[in-house]
Amino acid sequence: MSSNSARLDAIRAITTYKPEPADFNFHETSPMDVYSCNVFNDRVMRERLPRDVYKALQKTIRYGETLDPGIADTVAAVMKDWAIEHGATHYTHIFYPLNGQTAEKHDSLFTPDGMGGVIAEFSGSMLIRGEADGSSFPSGGLRSTFEARGYTAWDVTSPAYLQENPNGIILCIPTMFLSWKGVSLDKKTPMIRAGQALNREAKRVLGLFGVHTDLPIVAYAGLEQEYFLIDNNYTFARPDLLAAGRTLFGARPPKGQEFSDQYFGVIPQRVLSFMMEAERKLYKLGVPVQTRHNEVAPSQYEIAPLFEPANVAVDHNHQIMAVLRNTAKHYGLKCLLHEKPFNFINGSGKHLNYSIGNADLGTLFNPGDTPQSNAKFLIFCAAFIRAVHKYGGLLRATVASASNDHRLGANEAPPAIMSIFLGDQLTNVFEAFRSGHFEHADGGAKKSMNIGVDTLPPLPRDPGDRNRTSPVAFVGNRFEFRALGSSQSAADSITALNAMMADSLGFAADWLESMLKKGHSFNEALQSFVSHVIEEHSAVIFNGDGYSEAWHKEAVRRGLPDLRNTPEAMPELVKPEVIDLFERMHIMNRDELRAREEIYLGQYSKTIHTEAVLCVRMARTDIYPSGLRYQKELADTCVSLKNLNKDYRTDTLD
């Protein structure tokens, strides 16, 4: 297809576009009736499960207690009836293998009854465990080719849901994926294990404050998803867009984003119709989507849900990416999740808003309005500072990929140097602990500050401006990790953040307990810990321009790793201190980490190789023939003009 033909077809598609009729609209159906209607959620379970079974299941979901296998058959029977009432014919265990994609195998809910009919069958054992080929997914040597058995295990904490298709309904059950020996072959299992470690160590610290809660301390995540929408006619004309997700050849457009007229601009009607349909589907799945808008680059957009428990947020983000891709096809569009599909304009990221807490306590990164909550906040914030400084290389490795390498370091994507933006006021508070000059802790206000108590000034939620160039920025009651790529699963980053925080909170608890045993007051112990962290780890705090060359030089002077590409970043996964961290926290062992390094480097190499082969083929089959054709047209034109000139001179002489 020629570029002119593609352009004409795209223009024709836009001018003749008519939105597809919706299966429902919010004029006739209340969003409250639609929201979460395809989810086997708490409301459904409370209505349908026997009271004792519901209570037993809630102990696992809400309080993290071990699941009673005796209730599985009852839950499976109720889930099956609910799904069939909604039209389901099949079920599948959804899991996230180490190739970064979503995997599923569909099995029928119906089996022949031997008398010409069928019966619906879905037992507790079918709900709890499934089987997939463990050697057919990337395993980094954890599974040999001949060792094929792998298991999917029901993740009770993430609700089952119904996936709609024009020709049927599938019951989807979120699961973990493990080998026959119990080795993790997925991204969800380490994330859940890291969450358990975080809960254990956070409760140790809270206990020292006299704070007790029956609910587990969990990580919360809000995942902002950016993406591009391209007309299919353009996409089909580009082998590189089809196979690699980005343009490998091209020219800079005469108009890009230099006019700053795209960001938050009026959403085109065709795109808005697509967004509305995607949101209707996500409402049914209980995904709390809240924000939609134009992003900075031409044809770039964003969708963002509300804060959720991290495990559920990751599941919802995978659903968002699938819904965006599938819905775009209905409107003659291609949804690109590649981090940098076009040169010279912004790439797409996935901002991870991270916090920890629970429904009883709220977020523990909330500065609060009282001295007691201020003190607690400073301990958890100091632990986070220590975590990022100590394990910044690990955090960088979780966002390393061939496509994200093109994005990091410009156009609102943070650099590869892991640093923390706190804002001036919060930085001043922490610096006051290091220097001992507490009278300057509130921007110079003359107050004598004692961490344990009443004279510590309240810390406002927004103590400073935002920094778009910082990979980790404090934004009022959470930290925003901006380095994630658009197509990446957030599970690896959340696993690392939870593990790092668990380590730092364990260190904090050990420090405080040691000081108390030596006879120091609790206030002295708190002040001592915060002072130590800032003295040892303040190098990671940077409030300036992350794009400046001066910062790169300063970061080297501070000893911060500048891992600019995937081959440099991936070895961080197998550093002795990282292996020690994951093994101490019972998240992953040495072999599981080494397998991930091998798999991710392999994916990087395959991506680079695919793009290289594509470049050669496009040069041979598209660019070179087009060049010869154009050259011939020029030569023919020159000959024609020469003959025309000759004829003109002859006619004139005659």
DSSP string, 328-383: HHTTTEEEE--S-SSTTS---BEEEEEEEEETTTEETT---SSHHHHHHHHHHHHH
**Region at 259 (left for phi over 0; alpha for psi -120 to 50; beta for the rest):** alpha
Are residues 354 and 449 in contact, defined by beta-carbon separation less than 8 angstroms? no
* Residue (of 356, 457, 472) closest to 419 by Cα position: 472
Given a cut of 90, whether residue 241 has pLDDT beyond it is: yes
Among 136-150, 163-177, 378-392, 518-532, where is mean pLDDT lowest? 136-150
Mean pLDDT of 399-422: 87
Given a cut of 80, whether residue 557 has pLDDT beyond it is: yes
3-state secondary structure of 116: coil
Among 467-481, 501-515, 557-571, where is mean pLDDT lowest? 467-481
d(CA 650, CA 654): 6
What is the pTM (predicted TM-score) of this model?
0.91
pLDDT for 72 equals 93
H helix or E strand, kind and range, residue 480: strand 479-481
Given a cut of 90, whether residue 493 has pLDDT beyond it is: yes
pLDDT for 312 equals 96
Given a cut of 50, whether residue 223 has pLDDT beyond it is: yes
**308 confidence band (pLDDT: 50, 70, 90):** very high
Are residues 330 and 22 in contact, defined by beta-carbon separation less than 8 angstroms? no
* Residue (of 276, 274, 270, 273) closest to 289 by Cα position: 276
Instruction: Fill in the amino acid letter for 210.
Output: G
Given a cut of 50, whether residue 448 has pLDDT beyond it is: no
Helices 576-584 and 491-517, axial angle in degrees (round to 10): 80
3-state secondary structure of 250: coil
pLDDT for 467 equals 76
Choice between 226 and 626, residue whose per-residue pLDDT is larger: 226
Percentage of the chain beyond pLDDT 90 is 65
Average pLDDT for the chain: 88
* Residue (of 378, 504, 510) closest to 438 by Cα position: 378
pLDDT for 547 equals 87
Provide the β-strand partners of residue 151: 131, 178
Q: SS3 breakdown of the chain: % helix, strand, coil, rounded to 5?
A: 45, 15, 35
Tokens 């300063």 — which residue? Answer: 554
Among 186-200, 242-256, 402-416, 499-513, where is mean pLDDT lowest? 402-416
Given a cut of 50, whether residue 453 has pLDDT beyond it is: no
Alpha helix stretches (DSSP H) within 237-293 = 239-244, 269-284
Chain centroid to Cα 421, Å, comes to 20
d(CA 349, CA 410): 12
